[in-house]
Amino acid sequence: MEGSHGLHHITCIAGDPQENLDFYAGVLGLRLVKRSVNQDDPTTYHLFYADREGTPGTDLTFFPWPKLPPHRPGVGQAVEVALAVPEGSLGYWEGRLGPFLRGQGQRYGRPALLLQDPHGLPLALVEAPGPGRPWEGSPVPPAHQVRGLLGARLLVRSLLPSLAVLEGVLGYRRVAEEGDRVLLAQEGSFLEVEALPQGRLGAFGVGGVHHLAFRVRDEAHGLALRQKALHLGLRPTPPIDRFWFRSIYFREPGGVLFELATDGPGFAVDEPLEGLGQRLVLPPWLEANRQRIEAALPPLHLPA
C-alpha cells in the first residue's frame, strides 16, 4: 500500500519573529505565504515560508517563542533541515549568506553549504531538484532560489523501531546504511536517521525543530496511514482541521513528532495568491477574537 509522498512541511521554533522574517524572506528569499497564529496558542505567530504558491514540500514554518530557552539537540529530535537549491548555485549562496554561513560539506552525496539561522537552527543548502516554483518577488534571482525542503536529520535511541515507522507507515526506502546511521528517501526527500543508544534526550527550544510533516493526498489517505501507525502501537490523533490542510499527529518511537498533512486545500484558500502573507489570516473559529489577537502580537514588517 501507498506510503506518504515525502515531506509536506517542517515546523521549527524561532526567537524574535521580525528577525525570523528578515532571515527567511530577506536573506533566503523565501515567500512568506501565510502570516497566522499558532492555533493552540493564538498569542504566538505562525509564519509559513515557501515557494511562490506554497506548494506542498516547500514549506518551512515557525512558531516564534523568544522566551523559550535555546533548543538542546539530542535524542528524540530532528536536528538539521536541508533545503534544495538549483545546481550550480552554491557559489551564489556562499556570497550571500555572510555571517550565517558555517562551512561546506556534503549531504545525501551532494555538495552542501552548512549554515545556521539567526536563532541557531542548523540548515543545509544542497544542490538538488525540488518541487518549488520561483517567486518573482524574491530578493534572490530565480536561478538561485530555494526549491523546497530536501531532508532532515533525526536522532533516535535505537534505529529499528523508528525505521519500522519510516518504512512501514511513511513509505521511505533505505538508500544507504553505515553503522548506526541510515539514509532513507521518498519522492525526492531524504531522512538521515542516527541512533545514539547512550545519547542524552534533546529538548525543545529556540532554534530547534518542532515537527516534521509528511504529504498525504487527502484525508482518506491520511486515515489509512493512521491505521498503520495504530497497528505499530503508536497513538495518532484524530484528523485536525488546520484550515490549509488536515493533519494527524503522532510521535514516532524515537520521540520525534510527526504529522500527516493533506496536500489541499492549500494556502490560497483564504486569500488571493498575489496577496499571500501580507495580512494576518486567522482560521474562521478565531476570527471573532481578531482584535484581541492582533493587539497581543508584535508588529511585523516584510523586508524591503
Contact positions toward Zn ion, by CB under 5 A? 11, 213, 259
* First-to-last C-alpha distance (Å) of the chain: 47
CB of 10 to Zn ion, least distance (A): 8
CB nearer Zn ion, residue 213 or residue 229: 213
CB of 288 to Zn ion, least distance (A): 24
CB of 8 to Zn ion, least distance (A): 8
- The answer to whether 48 and 99 are in contact (CB under 8 A) is no
CB nearer Zn ion, residue 166 or residue 213: 213
CB of 249 to Zn ion, least distance (A): 8
CB of 11 to Zn ion, least distance (A): 5
CB nearer Zn ion, residue 89 or residue 186: 186
Give the dihedral sign, CA 268/124/80/118: negative
What's the burial of 292, exposed, middle or buried (CB within 10 Å: 0-12/13-18/19+)? exposed
CB nearer Zn ion, residue 114 or residue 213: 213
CB of 83 to Zn ion, least distance (A): 17
Residue nearest to Zn ion (CB): 213
CB nearer Zn ion, residue 26 or residue 283: 283
Let me know how long the chain is: 304
What does the buried/exposed string (b/e) look like for 14-29 if buried means 16 or more CB atoms within 10 Å of the residue's CB? bbebebbbbbbbbbbb
CB of 211 to Zn ion, least distance (A): 6
CB nearer Zn ion, residue 80 or residue 259: 259
Residue 155: count of CB within 10 angstroms of its CB: 25
CB of 9 to Zn ion, least distance (A): 6
CB nearer Zn ion, residue 93 or residue 214: 214
CB nearer Zn ion, residue 20 or residue 89: 20
